[in-house]
Structure 1
Amino acid sequence: MDRTEKCILTNMCMVYKGDEILVLDRIDPNWKGLTFPGGHVEKDESFNQSVIREVFEETGLTIKNPRICGMKQFTSKNKEYRYIVFLYKTNEFEGELQSSNEGKVFWINKNDLEKYQAVPDFHELYEIFNKEELSENFNYFDEIDNKWRYINS
């Protein structure tokens, strides 16, 4: 039995200050809506280095001491590969906020999240960032018509 599988490694980071959280309003029609900054882990890059780089690229902020707080993972229906998102959070950062080609970044009060259109399963994922007893989100997604679709398992 083969114990290996293809895997895509990514990250996401909730940057916060008091009751405000930094969000990214993604413009990509394949995964559109409110989310946290993050992206792919490059070859030979540590997970920690990758989240610092990705947050900088998407927000202009340099984060410090990102703390891993959980993970999200999913496979497509054909189980061709597993997609893993390492979830981080930090309230230590410096720099000037700048949006990128990924979308607009801005601060919102965490109590206002429901007022925005978010990416699928964002609200379930947000709970992992905030509840110590949660550490993992596992779902099925499938690419249909070149768009990722959430499939409730």
Structure 2
Amino acid sequence: MDRSEKTVLTNMCMIYDDDGNVLVQDRRDSDWGGITFPGGHVEKGESFTDAVIREVYEETGLTIETPQICGIKQWPEDDGSRYIVLFYKTSHFAGELKSSEEGEVYWTKLSRLKDLPLARGMELMLRVFLEDEVGEYYIYEEDGEWKHVLK
């Protein structure tokens, strides 16, 4: 029995400071726009950690250190593949903040984040980033209806 499946691997990173701020990105994407955290695709042969460090640098100009995996989001795609987003967080960063073609990046208070125009699903993703008892955001289809579950 073949247990392999085609998978798309991506990442997202919550970067925070000691003053209650988080770094957000206002994505310029017609399919998935709004406020989110920086991140992107894992390249073939690249480690997950190297990928999140690279993606954060490309999208923000910051070099992060010691990103800690804190959760996962996954869902099935129409072609039968699985889309996986590995969630990381870190407070260790250096460099000069700069936006990219992906979107504008800026610091905001974590307490204010839910008042911003979040990207679709970001409110549930925040629970994975912030609540230790929640480690997975799983989306699946049942009887023609999409279900969103936190585990």
**TM-score, normalised relative to structure 1:** 0.89
1:151 to 129, 132, 146: 146
Distance 2:10 2:67 in 1: 15
Distance 2:108 2:147 in 1: 28
- 1:22 alignment counterpart: 23
Residue 79 of structure 1 and its aligned partner are, at CA, apart by 5.7
Distance 1:139 1:120 in 2: 13
Q: 1:7-18, aligned counterparts within 5 Å?
A: 7-18=7-18
Give the partner amino acid of 1:122.
M
Distance 2:128 2:115 in 1: 20
Q: 1:59-138, aligned counterparts within 5 Å?
A: 59-76=60-77, 78=78, 80-138=80-138
Deviates more, 1:119-128 or 1:53-62: 119-128
Unaligned runs of 5+ in 1: 142-149
Distance 1:37 1:53 in 2: 11
- 1:147 alignment counterpart: none
Deviation per residue, 1:87-111 (Å, 9 max, x gap): 0000000000000000000000011
The two structures, once aligned, show a CA RMSD in angstroms of: 1.6
SS of the aligned residue for 1:17 comes to coil
Residue 120 of structure 1 and its aligned partner are, at CA, apart by 1.0
Q: 1:16-55, aligned counterparts within 5 Å?
A: 16-18=16-18, 19-55=20-56
Unaligned runs of 5+ in 2: none
Residue 151 of structure 1 and its aligned partner are, at CA, apart by 3.5
Distance 1:114 1:95 in 2: 27
**TM-score, normalised relative to structure 2:** 0.90
Deviation per residue, 1:25-81 (Å, 9 max, x gap): 0011111100000000001100000000000000000000000001010113x4610
Distance 1:87 1:46 in 2: 14
Distance 1:151 1:31 in 2: 17
Distance 1:129 1:114 in 2: 13
Once superposed, which parts of structure 1, at least 4 consecutive aligned residues long, lie more than 6 Å away? none
Distance 1:71 1:79 in 2: 21
Residue 113 of structure 1 and its aligned partner are, at CA, apart by 1.2
Give the partner amino acid of 1:50.
A
- 1:144 alignment counterpart: none
Distance 1:89 1:12 in 2: 8
